[in-house]
Amino acid sequence: MLIVSDRALVVMANALEAGQLPEEQVLRLAKGEDGEFGLVLDEAHDGDEIISRNEKPVLHIDMETSASLNGAKLDLAEGTSPVRLALRLPEPDL
């Protein structure tokens, strides 16, 4: 399971509220064709892992992506302005 810091959840929740998105749109962590992960606007899908803050859905992740990010952490990147999110993958077992 992906670990999402409280700081990252606050930033994403605030962005969603400020964006005044249609109710059917959600923020999704997805893997692009280039193999990089990013945040995209999408629709909710059955089987999504949903990460919430204050009982409000903030981030959706499909099952395959969630499984590939087991142990990874989504947090704020240190020392960046404007605020940026950073995905830190777990260290491989040697």
How many CA within 13 A on the CB side of residue 4? 19
Q: How many domains does the chain have?
A: 1
3-state class of 72 per DSSP?
coil
Stretch 4-11: mean pLDDT, rounded? 94
DSSP secondary structure letter of residue 82: S
User: Range of 50's domain?
Assistant: 11-18+25-88
Query: Is 2 contained in some domain?
Result: no
pLDDT at 4: 95
Query: Is 37 contained in some domain?
Result: yes
Read off the pLDDT band of 93 (50, 70, 90). low
> pLDDT (tens digit, 9 = 90+) per residue, 9-61?
999 999 888 887 787 889 999 988 998 899 999 999 999 999 999 998 999 99
Predicted model pTM: 0.85
Question: Strand 49-53 and strand 73-76: pairing?
Answer: unpaired
CATH code assigned at 60: 2.60.300.12
Strand order in the sheet with 25-31: 37-43, 25-31, 56-61, 49-53
Query: Is 44 contained in some domain?
Result: yes
Read off the pLDDT band of 94 (50, 70, 90). low
Query: Is 76 contained in some domain?
Result: yes
Q: How far apart are CA 3 and CA 74, in angstroms?
A: 6
